[in-house]
Amino acid sequence: MRRASLALALWLAAGAAGATPPTEKDLSAGWRFRLAQGTQADAHPDLKDWLPAHVPGAVQTDLLALKKIDDPFWRDNEANLQWIGLSDWDYQLDVDVDAATLARGHVDLVFEGLDTYADVSLNGKKVLSADNMFRRWRLPVKDILHKGANTLVVHLQSPIGRLLPWLMKQPYSLPGEFDSSFGDEPKGKQTSNYVRKANYQYGWDWGPRYVTLGIWQPVRLESWDTLRLADFHVAQKHVDADTAQLEGQFDVRADKSGPVTLTLDWTAPDGTHGHQARDVALSKGENHVALPLTIAHPQRWWPVGYGDPSLYRFHAEVVADGQALASVDRETGLRSVELRREKDTWGRSFAFVVNGVPVFAKGANLIPYDSFPSRVTPERLEALLHSARDANMNMLRMWGGGTYQDDAFYAAADRLGIMIWQDFMYGGAITPYDDAFRENARIEAVEQVTRLRDHPSIVLWAGNNEVQTGWDDWPDRQDFRKFINADEVKRIDDGMRELFGKTLRKVVADLSPGTPYWASSPSTDYDGPANVESDGDYHYWKVWSGSEPISHYLDMTPRFQSEYGLQSFPVMATIKAFAAPDDMQPESKVMRAHQKFANGDGNQRLLLYIRQGYGEPKDFPSFVYLSQVMQAEGIELAAEHLRSARPRNMGTLYWQLNDVWPGASWASVDYFNRWKALQYHARRFYAPVDVVPLRREGVTDVFAVSDRTTGFDATLRLRVYDMGGKLLRETSQPVHAAALASTNVLKLTDAALLKGADPKRTVVAFDLIEQGETLAHHLLYFDAARDLALPKPELSWSVGGDAHHPVITVSAKRLARAVWIDTGDLNVRLADNAFDLLPGESRRIQVQGDVDVDTLRHAVSAMSLVDALKEHTP
């Protein structure tokens, strides 16, 4: 809707009543494509002729739709499909234009996105050479069009084919991210640094290499007369509980001067209305006109958990001679946001403050939804956001190696109250320093910030992901700096500081001054070294990438941890979607192909952590299950440690929420939006109130962690169990949980907790109870799971309820560690999963999804930790 409203053309003439309204012609249907003449043409003769294409789309998705290629995600097909991104392609459309269109004052051809090097011609005349996937291209074409059929051709060049010959002649190649595994680029010669295209499509350590080409966003023909409304923006000059001081900002392009009236109507979430109007005289050319507006006692937008994500509706019009020449609708939330950085005991803070309230950020990093962006529907966008909100997340970081998301994504985040940390699209590669690259980047930023600035969910713009810390600290960058001379090192460094420290910062300051800007993640905003524990945000990868023990998460307490993670495999139902039965081994060719960390060696890293914490998997499904248990329990330890350290730490965003394809990764929600164990754990460790027992060197500190804005009184209950089923001891004590804080409510030694009980056969349960309701529940163990004397729990389960509300009940006679309820290939989601059961405990779990009770009963199974181990002696 935003694009449609921004596309509205205005007209201004003496007889406004007889003027013709603006028109828009969608050019998505009727496209054809073919393999352009070149090196690949002889190998694929069936692709030389024109074939039907889909726009928006990509060459790969068009070939797949025609069954010219196999499923890119099936087994190891990736290797056989690299030729597509190395080829040039042509797209063609016959555009029928009538006399009425040609009679308009202006006719513009608008491409919302071309991927990426694209030469566009209309009726044989070249009108554009595009070079940026993230930009919109508006072309005046009235003088080229004629009545009847017109021919529009888009020639797409392989970005590798175009850039690699040039790069091979250069004295050096800028350090990039991941070398190609397929030999299409020599090692250390990465072309992706030099083009404004989604970095992840060149391959990442969680996704495949599919270098796409295509018309990846909508195309249209706009016809208008004397004026065009280029943008309308609700600028928030000041917002607090008493007053919202706003401006309706109209950007109008006029062919001639003349008087108009600007009107602005608003509707509050509770239905109240307001109106404002202003007479203005437009000048020929570009006009930026503001209409001030004040709203008393605004219903402010809040992040989830802190209040309602209230949204106002605004209706703006341009009126002449009593007639509306154009109208625009906008929905936005009124709020203030601050990135608070104050010196304190631990260094300098890094905290998001919304409407004056410091918010502890709980969430994850978001990567692209798919290798092929045009396949992502608004429904998929929103479903993943619902998964985040349902797991009590209030922030997602839109990582900088992908794409800026469609408007529907941010609109859904607005409605759900999910804060978005928005990176500009720079994924870690070192950027060129030439003026042309920087100007291209500046225009991209102007367009994207202008498009997205009315979304209250965006609380931060960040210049890049890991560019500064990589340049300063990564071994390949340090080697590169030694290879080139000092003057060139300075030019590269100055170029990055100019782009990320000044150019992008100025764009945000000029166009969205109410939103903070941050130069790089991690960084101190160019106010010192990047990735330090005492200042700025922090990426912690010594656990996993450095193979350090998971317990080392307790050793780091940064001001804001914006990346950290552990891998796992998705559930077996998802694995079966890309692998055959013979592939079901960690080191099979296919499993290695879908494990991108360390070129497939990541499965050995998974086994390392599984063996350290749990023991030896008895078979492949057990390996899959144990990978998820390890990931969930490890990230839980880190996240709860960080939450317990509030206000020293004010945010935990683990890597990563989602997947770009089905395979092993750090995601907690897989490609099909199936929840892994980590997502269920996140729902608990990100709950508004949590009880956190942290054990270090034989001493356990228990914290009451609360995101509530007021303090409350509760009871802390402590129960000590023998794993076989005997309750050894139970105590309770009153506690006060402070508002927006972590409160240390108990400290006990192992001896005080155990009182002589065997630590390998004992578990302690902590419960935080308010007025009879259990707010939070946590178990504490005294050793790694592999060294505990875990009993056979004698799990039992049953399926009941009715057709619309099926329920699974699972029970354990003795302690059951890491219970997982599997529903096979059914498209359902459980309200709870991946939990421990105390001796004699039962749990009733609602099943969400369209499934009958009998089908569910035959599909359900359950297991616990001891069922997955090759050897375990109670």
Tell me, what amino acid is at 731?
T
Q: What is the pLDDT of residue 42?
A: 82
Task: Indicate the pTM of the whole model.
Answer: 0.96
Nearest to 605 by CA among 622, 586, 588: 586
Report which DSSP code applies to 583: G
Residue 514 lies in a domain: yes
Residue 49 lies in a domain: yes
Together in a domain, 642 and 752: no
Together in a domain, 192 and 235: no
Residue 765 pLDDT more than 90? yes
- 21 falls in which pLDDT band (50, 70, 90)? low
Residue 439, C-beta contacts closer than 8 angstroms, at least 6 positions apart: none
End-to-end C-alpha distance for the chain, whole angstroms: 62
Q: Please state, rounded to an integer, the average pLDDT across all residues of the chain.
A: 95
Together in a domain, 365 and 506: yes
Residue 873 lies in a domain: no
Q: Between 620-644 and 602-613, two packed helices, what is the crossing angle to 10 degrees?
A: 70
Instruction: Give me the percent of the chain exceeding a pLDDT of 70.
Output: 97
Q: What is the pLDDT of residue 327?
A: 82
Together in a domain, 391 and 492: yes
For the segment 617-645, the average pLDDT, to the nearest whole number, is: 98
Q: What is the pLDDT of residue 38?
A: 79
Q: How far is CA 244 from the centre of its chain?
A: 30
Q: Can you give the CATH number for the domain in which 177 is found? A: 2.60.120.260
Whether residue 302 contacts residue 352, with contact meaning beta carbons closer than 8 Å, is answered with no
Together in a domain, 257 and 206: no
Together in a domain, 532 and 660: yes
Q: What is the pLDDT of residue 6?
A: 41
d(CA 567, CA 608): 12
For the segment 78-99, the average pLDDT, to the nearest whole number, is: 97
Together in a domain, 382 and 414: yes
Q: How many CB atoms lie within 10 A of CB 424?
A: 25
Residue 7 lies in a domain: no
Residue 134 pLDDT more than 90? yes
Together in a domain, 351 and 464: yes
Number of separate domains in the chain:
5
Q: Can you give the CATH number for the domain in which 747 is found? A: 2.60.40.10
Residue 18, C-beta contacts closer than 8 angstroms, at least 6 positions apart: none
Q: What is the pLDDT of residue 494?
A: 98
pLDDT in tens, 170-186: 999 999 999 999 999 99
Domain termination residue (choose one: 744, 759, 787): 787
Q: What is the pLDDT of residue 14?
A: 37
Residue 371 lies in a domain: yes
Together in a domain, 489 and 457: yes
Domain termination residue (choose one: 648, 667, 685): 685
Q: Can you give the CATH number for the domain in which 574 is found? A: 3.20.20.80
Residue with tokens 């367009």: 447
Domain termination residue (choose one: 197, 220, 243): 220
d(CA 381, CA 660): 13
Residue 39 pLDDT more than 80? no
How many CA atoms lie within 13 Å of 770's alpha carbon, on the beta-carbon side?
13
Residue 339 lies in a domain: no
Together in a domain, 310 and 196: no
Choose the weakest-confidence range: 1-15, 69-83, 417-431.
1-15
Residue 183 lies in a domain: yes
The whole domain housing 69 covers 31-220
Residue 269 pLDDT more than 70? yes
H or E element: which one contains 612?
Answer: helix 602-613
Together in a domain, 232 and 88: no
Whether residue 286 contacts residue 279, with contact meaning beta carbons closer than 8 Å, is answered with no
Residue 16 lies in a domain: no
Together in a domain, 196 and 270: no
Q: What is the pLDDT of residue 620?
A: 98
